[in-house]
Amino acid sequence: MRRVLLSLLLLLLLLGATAPRRAMAQDEPVVRAVLFYSPTCPHCHKVIQQDLPPLVQKYGDQLQILMIDVTTEGGRELYLSAAQSVPIPDDKRGVPALVVGDTLLVGDKEIPERLPGIIEEGLAAGGVDWPEIPGLARVIKDVEARQTASETPAALETAQATNAPQATPAPVSEAGSEGINLNPVDVKAVSEMSVSERLALDPVGSAIAIVTLVFMVAMMAWAIIYWARNNLTLTPGPYWINRAIPILSVIGMGVAFYLSFVETTGARAVCGPVGDCNVVQQSDFAVLFGILPVGVAGLIGYLVILALWGWQRFGSEEKVEKTAWILPFAIFFGTAFSTYLTFLEPFVIGAVCMWCMTSAWIMTILLLLTFRWTIPRNEG
């Protein structure tokens, strides 16, 4: 009888000792997700550097994100495994891809839009475990063992990774956790990067932007000197210049209209092989004063230029002479504004928009043509 009572007492003590831990575990559910990314993918950088950090700061240890670099052999094998088990449809295969439970989010638009709500729902339901991807459980075990050995916290402390960890590619069946991290290394937000690090995010796009920037600054300097040395008026210039100005203005309107559509509707832009216009269009600099999308401002600017050209070309000679300065001034202002936006892309945003580069070149060529069309007044 004493042994029974002693056993019961010991059992009660053990239950009492473990109860607080259980309560703590129940009080803090965890949402776990897997993010497939590539270190060369600008969309991935946008998600990792801009979209995830606020969520990580908000939820702390209650949000765990396993980072899987698909450019490693092990990561690629695990992605293919997820593509079959989640599944990932053919038309949505790409990165960044985030798997939360049985939910798949793809792209730098869908992930930030839907993930916050999924986290809230998951925490309210008691948490979300790792997705059921063949091979994932053993990989997580390997990663946690590696982190335990290095005393690295298991929770994702921050997700602002700028460069993927360098690891020797190895198949999951052999190395498992190579290129896979529960806690990304050496993390920074774009705002915390040095200029060289921002340029390195998109070296080709940055090089194009810098060349464009140098050309624009040189053309504006030339225009200022030319304007300061001469008393200018507009006279009918060569046939090709008279036609080139409205044609370029209409092309610029088309570019600005497309950017306006992207910025006002949130649609994904067609970016091409260089740069990432979606990152630029989703940045804080895509809206002026918090209300006017840059694309809309550009559309208005090209409309004004086209209207002024028509006035200068077909208006009465007396009135045209008095207002001759307005068109070159408007184009110079547009070029200066485009120069500012071009500077922001590689040096501040860390991404380049080829649509924006196209508009910048159009505006700069308009500046050249306008001042070529504008000749010094002959006072004699």
pLDDT given for residue 224 in this prediction: 85
pLDDT value, residue 357: 93
- Whether the Cβ atoms of residue 256 and residue 341 lie closer than 8 Å to each other: no
CA–CA dist 163, 196 (Å, integer): 13
Q: Domain extents for the chain?
A: 29-192, 195-376
Please tell me the distance from the alpha carbon of residue 260 to that of residue 150, in angstroms, as a whole number: 49
pLDDT reported for residue 239: 63
Top CATH class of 195-376 equals mainly alpha
Task: Please check whether residue 180 is in contact with residue 68, taking contact to mean a CB–CB distance below 8 angstroms.
Answer: yes
d(CA 114, CA 122): 12
Where would I find the H helices in the chain?
A: 2-27, 42-46, 52-59, 73-85, 107-124, 136-149, 195-201, 203-229, 239-265, 277-281, 294-314, 317-322, 326-344, 354-373
Q: For tokens 């994932």, name the residue.
A: 136
What stretch of H or E contains 35?
strand 31-37
What CATH architecture applies to the domain 29-192?
3-Layer(aba) Sandwich (3.40)
**Cβ distance 64 to 155 under 8 Å?**
yes
Please name the amino acid found at residue 253: M
Query: For residue 218, what are its two tokens?
Result: 């040189």
pLDDT of residue 180: 42
The predicted structure's pLDDT at residue 165: 32
In this structure, what token pair is assigned to residue 37? 């990314």
To the question of pTM greater than 0.85 for the whole model, the response is no
CB 169 within 8 A of CB 39: no
Phi, psi of 177 (to 5 degrees): -100, 5
b/e burial code for range 147-183 (CB count within 10 A of at least 16 → b): beeeebeebbebbbbbebbebeebebeebbbbbbbbb
The per-residue pLDDT string of the chain (380 residues; one tens digit each, 9 = 90 and over) reads 444 433 433 333 334 444 433 333 456 899 988 898 876 666 777 788 778 888 888 888 888 888 888 777 777 788 888 888 888 887 677 778 899 988 888 887 888 889 999 999 989 888 998 888 888 887 777 766 665 665 544 433 333 333 333 322 223 333 333 444 443 333 345 656 678 877 877 788 889 999 999 999 999 998 888 777 766 555 555 667 778 888 999 999 999 999 998 888 777 778 777 777 777 877 778 888 878 889 999 999 999 999 988 887 776 766 666 666 788 889 999 999 999 999 998 898 888 889 999 999 999 999 988 876 654 444 43
Matching residue, tokens 């998109």: 202
Buried b (16+ CB within 10 A) or exposed e, 184-199: beebebbeebeeeebb
What is residue 166's predicted lDDT score, i.e. its pLDDT? Answer: 31
